[in-house]
């Protein structure tokens, strides 16, 4: 067994006193994008110490309460992140690609809309662009998730009581908020929002409203980031800001917070197991931070789920009755990052490979990889990275016995995790729209 390290997140400032308003419940909703059941099993084995016989439980095991179906309203039975996000945000089934609109393309209210109308404090913290499909469905309305600039505009332009809907916005997406045709950050500042552009300066955000966009598009993958626990850090900051705001306000406003471990899905699309486990670790630490907050502020409900699964991840592949968790644990970079580093060190790529993966390749495999690396041109174009990266990931899958069935999503049910006030409401089998409806019932005048 191994104790999870919470990294540098030791400055835990929540006071023992709970938030002032005991009649209204805080709601924290965390989406693990693409996090099917095999991801939480893989994470349990990944974080376990192989030196001991028993497998340690994870925070996912401790909070597991139910299962949810995820299908979209378009007969495909396999949802995309937009339709699933609209289901989770608004309680409405819709077509793939839809952001906050129903099957007839009519805008529908999200739980964040409801919370804001009831004068809750509201926040979003994600590791993708803040206007990516999942968070977008809580704020915006669009027929296409690809309308990124239009969706970003709505974060400022759609108002409730004359103010933007979201008091705290943390994640990536500078490219969509600071554009030639419009500088939304300037406009947010004019409305009293503070702005930070570097996650290292998260501590500079002292009060609401605030916006922090820490990358042009999505934030760096956990395995490539100098802040691998960035969702955990943003979550801790959000809870701290809400807690302090409630303390200052004599009425004590409750809050609604949407969190997303956005990039589990991206690692799944890339069929990159080490990448996925890096994101899972950030999500697990995020849940530990939330649990600590709720233990001190019990008037809070927390629900986590996935919007769908991605990649058809299997533990064991090609007939093998085996999954080599410790080999996954030894890999310290994503497939594309390993490829880039191998191509940048052509003369001693074997040493670099060994350092980054700890996997010993057979002679013929070394020859194959050597040929790919040496064919790549000096400036390592994206095509070269993807060619070498594909071979790298094939060897990682082979030596970890990891399987994938698709580069897309899959339609099986996903888990529901809950903690706090009335967590039993989320137990058993339900549809993803039921999760939204039940959470909306917590939001009251
Ligand atoms: Zn996806």
pLDDT in tens, 283-304: 999 999 999 999 999 999 999 9
What confidence tier does 250 reach under pLDDT thresholds 50, 70, 90? low
Q: How many Å lie between the centroid of ligand 1 and the Cα of residue 20?
A: 39
In terms of domains, do 208 and 252 share one? yes
304, part of any domain: yes
In terms of domains, do 429 and 395 share one? no
The range of the structural domain enclosing residue 353 comes to 332-403
Q: How many Å lie between the centroid of ligand 1 and the Cα of residue 79?
A: 9
pLDDT in tens, 140-162: 999 999 899 999 999 999 999 99
Looking at residues 305-315, what average pLDDT do you find?
98
Lowest pLDDT segment from 73-87, 148-162, 272-286, 327-341: 73-87
In terms of domains, do 298 and 434 share one? yes
pLDDT score of 367: 96
5 has pLDDT over 90: no
4, part of any domain: no
Q: How many Å lie between the centroid of ligand 1 and the Cα of residue 221?
A: 15
pLDDT score of 162: 94
347, part of any domain: yes
In terms of domains, do 238 and 359 share one? no
pLDDT score of 74: 82
Question: Which protein residues have a CB closer than 5 Å to ligand 1 (ion)?
Answer: 265
pLDDT score of 17: 43
CB 166 within 8 A of CB 188: no
- Of residues 18, 38, 81, 418, which has the active-site annotation? 81
Q: Is 81 a catalytic residue?
A: yes
Mean pLDDT for the chain overall: 93
393, part of any domain: yes
Q: How many Å lie between the centroid of ligand 1 and the Cα of residue 262?
A: 9
* ipTM for the whole complex: 0.96
CATH number at residue 186: 3.40.720.10
In terms of domains, do 250 and 212 share one? yes
Q: How many Å lie between the centroid of ligand 1 and the Cα of residue 84?
A: 10
177 has pLDDT over 80: yes
In terms of domains, do 191 and 244 share one? yes
6 has pLDDT over 60: no
259, part of any domain: yes
325, part of any domain: no
In terms of domains, do 209 and 99 share one? yes
In terms of domains, do 353 and 232 share one? no
158, part of any domain: yes
In terms of domains, do 376 and 436 share one? no
Number of domains in the chain: 2
What confidence tier does 127 reach under pLDDT thresholds 50, 70, 90? very high
297, part of any domain: yes
Better-predicted residue by pLDDT, 144 or 15: 144
In terms of domains, do 173 and 39 share one? yes
In terms of domains, do 289 and 340 share one? no
385 has pLDDT over 90: no
Q: How many Å lie between the centroid of ligand 1 and the Cα of residue 124?
A: 19
What confidence tier does 379 reach under pLDDT thresholds 50, 70, 90? low
64 has pLDDT over 70: yes
Chain mean position to CA 352: 29
Q: How many Å lie between the centroid of ligand 1 and the Cα of residue 192?
A: 34
Q: How many Å lie between the centroid of ligand 1 and the Cα of residue 81?
A: 6
In terms of domains, do 177 and 257 share one? yes
pLDDT score of 245: 87
89 has pLDDT over 70: yes
Q: How many Å lie between the centroid of ligand 1 and the Cα of residue 95?
A: 15
């Amino acid at each position: 067994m191994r104790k999870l390290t919470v990294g540098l997140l030791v400055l835990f400032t929540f006071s023992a006193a709970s938030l002032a308003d005991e009649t209204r419940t805080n709601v924290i909703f965390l989406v693990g994008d693409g996090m099917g059941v095999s991801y939480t099993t893989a994470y349990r084995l990944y974080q376990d110490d192989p030196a001991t016989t028993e497998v340690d439980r994870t925070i996912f095991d401790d909070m597991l309460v139910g299962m949810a179906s995820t299908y979209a309203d378009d007969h495909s039975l396999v949802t995309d992140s937009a339709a699933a996000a609209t289901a989770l945000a608004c309680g409405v089934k819709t077509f793939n690609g839809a952001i906050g609109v129903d099957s007839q393309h009519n805008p529908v209210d999200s739980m964040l809309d409801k919370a804001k109308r009831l004068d809750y404090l509201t926040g979003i913290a994600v590791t993708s662009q803040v206007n990516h499909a999942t968070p977008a469905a809580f704020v915006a309305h669009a027929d296409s998730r690809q309308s990124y600039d239009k969706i970003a505009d709505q974060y400022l332009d759609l108002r409730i009581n004359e103010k933007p809907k979201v008091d705290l916005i943390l994640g990536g997406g500078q490219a969509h908020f600071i554009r030639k045709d419009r500088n939304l950050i300037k406009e947010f500042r004019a409305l009293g929002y503070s702005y930070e552009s570097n996650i290292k300066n998260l501590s500079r955000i002292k009060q609401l409203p605030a916006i922090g966009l820490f990358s042009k598009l999505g934030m760096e993958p956990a395995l490539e980031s100098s802040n691998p626990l960035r969702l955990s850090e943003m979550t801790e900051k959000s809870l701290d800001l809400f807690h302090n705001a409630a303390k200052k306000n004599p009425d004590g406003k409750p809050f609604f917070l949407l969190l997303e471990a956005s990039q589990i899905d991206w690692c799944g699309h890339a069929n990159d197991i080490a990448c996925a486990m890096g994101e899972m670790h950030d999500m697990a630490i995020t849940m530990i931070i939330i649990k600590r907050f709720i233990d001190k502020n019990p008037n809070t409900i927390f629900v986590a789920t996935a919007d769908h699964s991605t990649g058809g991840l299997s533990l064991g592949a090609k007939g093998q009755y085996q999954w080599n968790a410790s080999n996954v644990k030894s890999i310290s970079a994503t497939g594309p990052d390993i490829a880039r580093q191998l191509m940048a060190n052509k003369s001693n790529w074997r040493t670099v490979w060994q350092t980054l993966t700890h996997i010993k390749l057979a002679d013929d495999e070394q020859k194959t990889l050597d040929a790919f690396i040496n064919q790549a041109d000096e400036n390592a174009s994206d095509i070269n990275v993807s060619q070498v990266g594909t071979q790298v990931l094939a060897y990682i899958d082979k030596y970890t016995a990891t399987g994938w069935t698709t580069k897309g999503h899959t339609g099986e049910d996903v888990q529901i995790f809950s903690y706090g006030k009335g967590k039993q409401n989320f137990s058993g089998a339900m549809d993803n729209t039921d999760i939204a409806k039940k959470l909306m019932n917590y939001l009251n005048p």
